[in-house]
């Protein structure tokens, strides 16, 4: 006869696993030269940044991205209330990133810098909304299938990505790199569109479908540019053994001038310039400048064979 409760999981070796995990962390931190100061180094947290961004979406487009029961008469109250709430959370996160960057700066100076940045950020919001309105219009014009501007705001991942990017870019420009990247990755995870917060993007920008789009840190995109899914605006990489690491920040991604259209799957690499009004066809691979007004397409290859390898 068993007196043992058969539902009872055996005790786990918690103590030994915890001890070993501590040891591994210790080794890592020693190697990284961090054992001494980590206790006082916190970083911006996904949860809080995500809350701020979700609030900002509602602040910028209250009747479309705000709460579903919002009425027009309450708009300003909602906007002001959310704004105060979001800025209070944000200032703490900004403070954390600043104190990581400059751990030796005096506490009050860090507070002051964080406050100043957040106040400045708040005043930029109306211009941001105005800019995003132009992106909405660009999307509405860019996709003949769109039935209304409301559909753009509610259903286009490309617009969500550009909202996130325009916010993230403000943080990037101020040197708040981790917050900027957390915002960009939020958009990447939801939309499959990976725009580095450092990219410079002009007005009336539109991405359709979007999954797999990659836009690099030093890319410069003009006005009224349109991208489709799986477009890459990347860097040319050279073998590290031969050339060493690229210097960070040096321009290494394409310049895309005004009114360019780049169709799905095109890969455009290096600090080349796609001239004004050029149209880059789908799946094209480009590493040299393209003059204004060009039409670049992939040569089409077709053949019927017995042996047909294919990627499953």
Of residues 5-24, those binding its own copies (CB under 8 A)? 5-18, 20-24
Q: How many Å apart are CA 218 and CA 207, to the nearest integer?
A: 18
Of the candidate residues 30, 50, 84, 173, the single one contacting its own copies (CB under 8 A): 84
- By CB under 8 A, is residue 103 in contact with its own copies? yes
Tokens of 247: 């210097």
The backbone torsions φ and ψ at residue 197, rounded to the nearest 5 degrees and listed phi first, read -60, -15
Which of 162, 229, 273, 275 contacts its own copies by CB under 8 A?
Answer: 229
Q: Which of 113, 164, 166, 188 binds its own copies (CB under 8 A)?
A: 188
- The answer to the question of residue 177 lying near its own copies (CB under 8 A) is yes
Residues 122-161 interacting with its own copies (rule: CB under 8 A): 122-123, 125-126, 129-130, 133, 141, 144-145, 147, 149-151, 154-157
Q: Is 196 in the site for its own copies (CB under 8 A)?
A: yes
Work out how close the CB of 73 gets to its own copies at its nearest, in angstroms, rounded to a whole number: 4
Spatial distance between the Cα atoms of 112 and 98, rounded to a whole number of angstroms = 11
DSSP 105: S
Q: Closest separation between CB of residue 205 and its own copies, Å? A: 16
How many residues contact its own copies, by CB under 8 A?
A: 159
Contact between 43 and its own copies per CB under 8 A:
yes
Min separation Cβ 33 and its own copies, Å: 11
For the sheet with 232-234, list strands across it: 194-195, 214-215, 232-234, 267-269, 285-286
68 binding its own copies? (CB under 8 A) = yes
Any idea what the Cα angle at residue 218 is, between residues 91 and 266, rounded to 5°? 120
Q: Which of 30, 50, 173, 297 is in the footprint of its own copies by CB under 8 A?
A: 297
- Assigned token pair, 47: 């949860």
- Who's near 193: CB < 8 A, 6+ residues apart? 157, 158, 161, 187, 207, 210, 211, 213
Shortest separation between residue 282's beta carbon and its own copies, angstroms: 4
Binding its own copies (rule: CB under 8 A), the pick from 55, 219, 225, 286 is 286
Which residue(s) pair with 110 in the sheet? none
Q: For the CB of residue 179, give the shortest distance to its own copies in the complex, in Å.
A: 10
Among residues 57, 181, 199, 274, the one that binds its own copies under rule CB under 8 A: 181
> What is the SS3 assignment for 156?
coil
* The binder of its own copies chosen from 208, 219, 221, 257 (CB under 8 A): 208
296 binding its own copies? (CB under 8 A): yes
Question: What does 165-214 look like in DSSP terms, one character per residue?
Answer: HHHHHHHHHTT-HHHHHHHHHHHHHHHS-EE-TT-EE-SS-EESS-TT-E
243 belongs to the binding site for its own copies (CB under 8 A): no
Which of residues 48, 202, 273, 292 is near its own copies by CB under 8 A? Answer: 48
Name the nearest CA neighbour of 158 among 216, 234, 232, 211. 211
167 binds its own copies (CB under 8 A): no
């Amino acid at each position: 006869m068993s007196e043992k409760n058969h539902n009872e999981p055996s005790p786990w070796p918690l103590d030994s696993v915890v001890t070993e995990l501590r040891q591994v962390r210790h080794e890592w931190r020693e190697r990284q030269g961090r054992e001494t100061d980590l206790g006082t180094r916190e970083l911006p947290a996904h949860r809080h940044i995500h809350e701020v961004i979700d609030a900002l979406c509602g602040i910028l487009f209250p009747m479309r991205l705000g709460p579903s029961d919002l009425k027009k008469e309450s708009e300003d109250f909602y906007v002001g209330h959310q704004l105060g709430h979001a800025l209070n959370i944000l200032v703490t996160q900004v403070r954390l990133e600043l104190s990581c960057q400059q751990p030796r700066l005096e506490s009050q100076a860090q507070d002051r810098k964080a406050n100043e940045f957040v106040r400045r950020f708040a005043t930029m919001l109306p211009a941001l909304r105005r800019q995003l309105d132009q992106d909405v219009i660009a999307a509405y014009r860019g996709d003949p299938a769109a039935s209304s501007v409301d559909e753009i705001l509610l259903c286009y991942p490309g617009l969500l990505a550009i909202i996130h990017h325009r916010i993230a870019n403000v943080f990037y420009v101020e040197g708040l790199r981790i917050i900027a990247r957390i915002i960009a990755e939020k958009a990447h995870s939801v939309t499959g569109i990976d725009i580095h917060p450092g990219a410079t993007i002009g007005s009336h920008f539109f991405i359709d479908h979007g999954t797999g789009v990659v836009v690099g840190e030093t890319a410069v995109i003009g006005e009224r540019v349109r991208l489709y899914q799986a477009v890459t605006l990347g860097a040319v990489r050279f073998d590290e053994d031969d050339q060493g690491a690229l210097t960070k920040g040096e321009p290494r991604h394409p310049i895309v001038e005004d009114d360019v259209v780049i169709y799905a799957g095109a890969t455009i690499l290096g600090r080349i310039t796609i001239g004004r009004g050029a149209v880059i066809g789908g799946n094209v691979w480009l590493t040299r400048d393209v003059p204004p007004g060009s039409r670049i397409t992939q040569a089409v290859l077709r053949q019927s064979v017995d042996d047909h390898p294919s990627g499953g």
